[in-house]
Amino acid sequence: MSASAEYSRAEIVIDLAAIRRNVETLCTAVAAHADGPAVMVVVKADGYGHGLFGSARAARAGGATWLGVAERGEALDLRSDGDSGRILAWLAMPGEDFGPLIEADIDVAAYSTAQLAEIVAAAQALGQPARVHLKVDTGLSRGGAPRSQWQDLVEAARTAETDGHVKVAGIWSHLACADQPDHPANPEQEGVFEAALEVAEEAGLDPEVRHLANSAAALLHPESWYDLVRIGIAAYGLSPAPAVVSAESLGLVPAMTVRARAAMTKDIAIGDGVSYGHTYVADKAMRVALVPLGYGDGIPRHASSVGPVQVRGMRSQVLGRVCMDQFVVEAPRGTLAGDEVVLFGSGADGEPTAQDWADACGTISYEIVTRMGGIAGRAERRWTDDDGTLV
C-alpha cells in the first residue's frame, strides 16, 4: 500500500476492500458445507478499531447478512448510517430502555428473566414485538443465563411470545476456548448448548437462528456452526488462533496499516542509553529515528524494546521505553526526518503485521488493532477502497 503524500505525523489506513474480500472468503468457506450458516460480522468497538461504518459497509458488501455489536449506541449508529439489515446488539445494562432498539428493528439479547421483562415492557409500550436472542451461559461464565436459570428464561420467553410481545429469533451462546480446537471445553459447551436447545424446543420455541461460533470456531470447527456464525477478527484479516493457523494460510489480508513519519533522526554512540530508565543501551553506534506515536495513541507500553517496525525497507524495532507521545527506533544510515516508519500493515511489503506486534507485546492482535484505531487513539484514520464503492 503506497503512503499518502498528505499525512504529516502518523496515519492509520483501513483497507475496506480487504475487509470486503475477507468476508467474501469467509462466506465462501462456510457456504462450502451443506446447510452453510449465515454470516454475522462483528463490528463492535468501532469495528475492532477499523471504523464502525466502513467496516459495516465492507462486511455487507462481502456478504454478511447480519452485523453484531455489543452496545445499543453502535446499533443505532448503524441505522443512522443507513444500514437496514439484521443487527444484533447483545450487551445491555439493568434499566436499559429497549424501546429505541425495538423501534429501529434491531435484534436484542436477553440474558435473564429480569432483562426479558424490560424488553417486554418496552415492546408493550411501543406496541411492537421485539426480536430477542436468548443467551445461555454454556461455560464461559460471562454473559447469559446460567444453566440453573435457563428453564425459567425459556418459559418466560415463551409466555411473552404467546402474548405477542416478543419473537424468539435466536438462541445463542459463546465459546471460551475456540482458539484451542482440542480443548475439552469445546465439546462440553456444545453439549450444554444442545441440552439448552432441547429445553427451548420442549417449551415450544422455534428460533430462526441458533448461534455459537466466533471466528475461531467458524474456521476450525464446523460442528459449532448451527445457523449463524459470528465472525469478528477474521473479517479484519487476522487469525483468531495464530498458534494453530496463520491469516495468510486462511487467505485473509490484514486491513489496518499504521505508519508515521520520523519526527527527528540522529546518530547515537555505543553505550548511549535510550528513552526513560535507559532500559536500552546501544551496543553499537547507530542511526535512530523518533516516531511521534506513543501510548497516548494506543501504542502498548509493552512494546518497549520489542515492537517491530520497518524503516526504508529495513526491519528494526523499538529501542527502550515507549513514552506517551513518542518512541525511538533503530533506522538505516541515511534515514532522515520525515521518512516513513511502518509499524504494521498487511505484511505484503515485508512490514510487520498486527500479529507480529501482538506476539512481541504478549497480547492478541485484537487488542493491537482495537486500541490503535480506538477512541483513545490520536492518529488520523483514513479509509481506502480499490473500486471506490465503500468510501
* Interface residue list for ligand PLP (CB under 6 A): 42, 90, 174, 214-216, 230-233, 240
Residues 27, 30: Cα–Cα separation, whole Å: 5
Question: Looking at beta carbons only, is 42 or 154 nearer to ligand PLP?
Answer: 42
**Residue sitting closest to ligand PLP (CB):** 232
284 is catalytic: no
Residues 6, 302: Cα–Cα separation, whole Å: 30
Question: Looking at beta carbons only, is 142 or 278 nearer to ligand PLP?
Answer: 142
Question: Looking at beta carbons only, is 157 or 212 nearer to ligand PLP?
Answer: 212
- Grid coordinates representing 79 are 441505522
Measured CA to CA in angstroms, residue 232 lies from 47, 53, 54, 316 at distances of 8, 15, 14, 30
Question: Looking at beta carbons only, is 200 or 217 nearer to ligand PLP?
Answer: 217
Question: Looking at beta carbons only, is 336 or 375 nearer to ligand PLP?
Answer: 375
- Nearest distance from C-beta of residue 209 to ligand PLP, angstroms: 13
Residue 91 exposed, middle or buried by CB count within 10 Å (0-12, 13-18, 19+): middle
- Nearest distance from C-beta of residue 138 to ligand PLP, angstroms: 12
- Nearest distance from C-beta of residue 227 to ligand PLP, angstroms: 14
Of 44, 48, 226, 280, the catalytic one is 44
| φ, ψ for residue 219, nearest 5 deg | -90, -30
Burial per residue of 110-147, b for 16 or more beta-carbon CB atoms within 10 angstroms, e otherwise: bbbbebbebbbebbbeeeebbbbbbbbbbbeeebbbee
- Nearest distance from C-beta of residue 91 to ligand PLP, angstroms: 8
111 is catalytic: no
- Nearest distance from C-beta of residue 66 to ligand PLP, angstroms: 11
Q: Provide the sign of the torsion angle of the four alpha carbons 97, 100, 105, 107, taken in this order.
A: negative
- Grid coordinates representing 158 are 415463551
Question: Looking at beta carbons only, is 205 or 231 nearer to ligand PLP?
Answer: 231
DSSP one-letter string for 171-211? EE---SSTTSTT-THHHHHHHHHHHHHHHHHHTT---SEEE
Residues 69, 92: Cα–Cα separation, whole Å: 11
| φ, ψ for residue 311, nearest 5 deg | -130, 125
- Nearest distance from C-beta of residue 180 to ligand PLP, angstroms: 13
Q: Report the catalytic residues.
A: 44, 276
